[in-house]
Structure formats: C-alpha cells, structure tokens
Structure 1
C-alpha cells in the first residue's frame, strides 16, 4: 500500500488469540487524540438530537399529542449539518424524505451508541500499551477496532474532500509544508493499520 503514514505504524500480527503490534508514544497520543475527537463529535451530536426531541405529550391532551407527532415526522430528513456526521450517519433514503426521517429516528441512537462503544474499546486498548508495551487486541475486540478505524478514515476523508482515487492521488502529491499533507499521511497510516489488522485475522 506504500508509505504507511507519518509515523510508520508496524504491522499487526496474530499471536494466539490476540492481534499484536507496537506503537511509539507519539503514535499512541495521535490515535488517542483522533478517537477522542470522534467521541466528542458523536456525543455532541447526540446531545443536540436529544435536546431537539419534544417531551412526551400527556395522553389526555390530543392537541399536544398531534403537535408532537408532527414534530417527530418532519417532511425533511433530520440530517446533521456537519459533513463528517453525514458520512458517519448517512441518509438511508435520499429520495424519500419521510422514510429517511423515520429510519434515522429509529436507528441513529443505537448507531451512535455502537460507535461510541467501539471507540471506548480502542481507547482502553491504547491506555494499556503505554511505556513501550505492545498493543494486544483480543480477537473479540477486532471488530471494534476495525469499525473505529473506518470511522476515523471516513472523518479524515471528508475533511480532506477525498471522494475517489483521483482526489486521493492529488493529496499524495502535496508539498510537506501544506497542512493537508500531514492529515493525508495520517489517513494513509490508518489505512495501513486497518489493512494489516484485517490480514492478521
């Protein structure tokens, strides 16, 4: 896959029932920072959604019930404004606003919880590999790592406006003093980690 990134993560290797690699201290800090930013973004989005959800109407107040029903079933899908969140929680039915709104309302809370739970698994794993100790990922946690790495790559791809191989290739040719060059290096580094994690399964 070429240059694995700005700090050169080592390949994951399978040892018994664990997937093992090693990180330099700056690699641990980088990955922790990325995951924490992802958690904050998803958490803040969930808080805004909850704040915008109307309180339950009293059963003996039909007008309040109808108002709540109308607010919960808007004509347009409740799509987040942040483009990263749009990639993380895509519109399921872009040509059917009502179906899209219903799908988002009934599934997004569970999707947020799943992403946050997976991210916490990664943060816990990173916390255990300080002081030069190897990172050891139990096989039953590999899926959480893969999903979180995917979410991080989606986030970076959105910020970098990577939409296809051609746009990625243009970024790979940026001069080193361009701020996007470092982010693209991180994007490639995450891809390398993800690829070798899959290969080691």
Structure 2
C-alpha cells in the first residue's frame, strides 16, 4: 500500500504515508488555500439568499496558476483576445459565466483543500512504519479534487501544457532547480491515479 491508494471494504480508500509525505501534502494544501483566497468575510451579512446571488469577478485572474484553476468557459486559449467579433462575443459570455460561477468554484476548491488538511491532522502519531490514512467515499472525492488542483497548480508553474512536457520532466538532471517540484508533481499524479481507481465501480 505505500504510496498508492487502495479501496476500503464498503467504500472509501486508504494509503500509507510517512511523516515527510504528510508534511509535503499538508504544506501544498495550505499553499493552495492561500492561493485560492479566503471565503466570505466574517462580517458579511448572514443571508444565504444574498450569498447565493452574490456576484464574483468577471475578469480572469492575473496569476497564471489561478487562470489554470479557473479558466475561461467559452474562450479559445489559442485565440488572440478581441481579434474577431466572435472572440469578443466569447469573452463577453465568459465574463458573464465567470461572474456567476467563480465564487462557487473557489468555495468547492477551498473545501477540498481543507478536507485534505483536516484528514491529515487527525492521523495517529507517525512511527517508522508511517500512518495509514483512511478516507470515506466523500473524503476520497474531496482528496481527488484537491490532488487535481495541486497538480494543475504545479504543472502551471512548470509550464506543462501537454503529455510531451511531462515526458521531458522525467529526464531533468538532479541539479535542475525544478527537480523537487517535478518529483512532487509526478508523485501526486501517482496518488491521483490510484485514488481514481478506488472510486471506480
């Protein structure tokens, strides 16, 4: 089981993690939370209806990682912005879509990252053998979402856009400063792949 998720009887998944792995995943989840930003302010009106209809931003985020996590819904990424009437219409539709969906998307990604932190924080003390993390089916889905977001974030920092870029990462020399980030990206990919398998019917 080390390094790979396995299904639990009755649903959910389990994986053995050592203290270093726990520390890495927790640190990455905290960084993801900081990147996504805080939720509604504590002094916001306690009105669920108002929160439901609250508008989000209409412009894409400036940070390339956030643009990867919250891409435009209708725009062709290869198209020059505003180059044609069709492109302008796509931008307008994307802005409208973003205004009414990004807050919810951010909340979902925030909750997934928090679920990762919470489940790691309640693990039994780690010994030489490591600890076994056991997740319910719902926690497994939250972990899957968070692992995907972490890989998107790291992949964006590494300028990974397709499978060929991933193949090049395997051949990076050890002295390359990107190597630790690459190792985390590939390791998280393995965790994600085995977790997907556990959730398959």
Same fold at TM > 0.5: yes
TM-score, normalized by length of structure 2? 0.77
Residue pair 1:18, 1:138 contacting (<8 A) in 2 also: yes
Q: Please state if 1:28 is matched with 2:22.
A: yes
Residue pair 1:128, 1:135 contacting (<8 A) in 2 also: no
Paired position in structure 1 for 2:194: 196
Q: Please state if 1:14 is matched with 2:14.
A: no
Residue 21 of structure 1 aligns to a residue in which SS?
strand
For structure 2, the residue ranges without an aligned partner over 5 or more in a row are 42-54, 76-86
TM-score, normalized by length of structure 1? 0.77
**Match for 1:89 among 70, 79, 98?**
70
**Match for 1:110 among 95, 100, 104?**
104
Where do 4+ consecutive residues of structure 1 move more than 6 Å? Answer: none
Cα RMSD between the aligned structures?
2.1
Segment drifting more, 9-18 vs 94-103 = 9-18
Displacement of 1:122 in angstroms is 0.9
The structure in which a higher percent of residues are helix is 1
Alignment of 1:1-201 (within 5 A): 10-16=3-9, 17-43=11-37, 78-94=59-75, 95=87, 96-132=90-126, 133-201=131-199
Distance 1:144 1:125 in 2: 11
Distance 1:164 1:80 in 2: 22
Distance 2:20 2:29 in 1: 14
Higher Cα radius of gyration:
1
Distance 2:105 2:29 in 1: 16
For structure 1, the residue ranges without an aligned partner over 5 or more in a row are 1-7, 51-71
Deviations 1:110-162 (A, max 9, x none): 11011101111111111122522310110122111111000000001100001
Segment drifting more, 185-194 vs 138-147 = 138-147
Residue pair 2:12, 2:198 contacting (<8 A) in 1 also: no
Distance 1:153 1:115 in 2: 13
